[in-house]
Amino acid sequence: MDLDLRKLRYFVAVAEELHFGRAAERLHIAQPVLSRQIRSLEDELGAEVFDRGRRGTLLTPAGKQLLEDAVPLLASAQALVRRVKSSAQGRRSLTIGFMPGITVTPAMIAFTALHPDVNVRLLRTTWEDQVAVLLDGRADVGIVRLPIDRQGLEVRPLFQEPRVVMVPVGHRLADRRSVTVEDLAAEHLLQDPNAVPEWRDVALELRSGERPEVPVIHQVEEKLELVAAGAGICVLPLSTATFYTRPDVIPLPVDDLGPNEVALAWVAARRSPLIRDFAEAAADTLAQAHDGERKPSAD
């Protein structure tokens, strides 16, 4: 059976809206047409993907599985079209996604020495989109901070680096040489607790059930502004904290906090020699560049 990507796009729209009318408006098609296309998709799959009952439109177990698989499949298809068009125009390029605080320059120099004709582009990413840019083709390869969802990706570890806690000047812990996770138990974390499981396991605000809602923060600068204002603390990789040095925020080593792991990632189905060559260049240069990194001075 050959899947119709157009029907998959229709399905994803309904699955995200959970409403045929809104999905039809979003797709700029008539609702009866959309309903027929979804019925046709269900016939092809031999399974109902939506439960159309009194409670409205809901995903069936088969629908949930289809949504999980359809999103990366559609993103890969879109990326394929972009790469083919670029190749047809005679351009060879490599786009590298990278997280804040990570220096990509040594790998770029090594790669361009091998491929001086390739246009190398950089794309700054965040915790929220470092995988998405790979799946939708905006980046060919990414230098990512783990953990990530590895489904559909090839991941190659590069190096580890310490994490530090950022506190405002004047904080009760600011004059300490280092702290422990237990010292941070009473603090408010300006991050998803799952990003710092060591803190999550001792956090008083989680035990009491009184943790205030934390808005999604996309940029490091936003986190540090909130830390400086006394709204809470955040935990950052050492290189990120060093890159965003500012006088009103202090980085403190945390003795029992695990390191952040940095890795290369790309879509496993991609067989591009350029990706492989960049991966080798990064493995040879970036890990070596970080071997000599020291923890922040407590003086």
What is the signed CA dihedral for 65, 68, 69, 71, rounded to 10 degrees? 140
pLDDT higher than 70, residue 58: yes
Query: Same structural domain for residues 101 and 178?
Result: no
Across the chain, mean pLDDT equals 89
Query: Same structural domain for residues 170 and 222?
Result: yes
Q: Give the confidence band of 73 by pLDDT, cuts at 50, 70, 90.
A: confident
Query: Same structural domain for residues 67 and 17?
Result: yes
Query: Same structural domain for residues 119 and 183?
Result: no
Query: Same structural domain for residues 242 and 269?
Result: no
- Residue 66 has which token pair? 């289809």
26 within a domain of the structure (yes/no):
yes
- Helices 20-27, 31-45: inter-axial angle, 10-degree rounding: 100
Query: Same structural domain for residues 119 and 242?
Result: no
- Residue type, position 233, single letter: I
Per-residue pLDDT tens for 167-208? 999 999 999 999 999 999 999 999 989 889 999 999 999 998
The Cα–Cα gap between 257 and 239 comes to 15
pLDDT reported for residue 289: 62
Query: Same structural domain for residues 234 and 212?
Result: yes
Looking up residue 47, the CATH number of its domain turns out to be 1.10.10.10
Domain that holds residue 228: 163-253
In the numeric block, the tokens 């600068």 are attached to: 221
The Cα–Cα gap between 47 and 57 comes to 16
pLDDT reported for residue 297: 44
- The stretches of the chain forming alpha helices (DSSP H) are 5-17, 20-27, 31-45, 61-88, 105-114, 132-135, 197-200, 204-207, 220-228, 238-243, 273-291
87 within a domain of the structure (yes/no):
no
Per-residue pLDDT tens for 88-105? 766 688 999 999 888 899
85 within a domain of the structure (yes/no):
no
Mean pLDDT on 231-246: 92
Looking up residue 207, the CATH number of its domain turns out to be 3.40.190.10
The Cα–Cα gap between 166 and 159 comes to 22
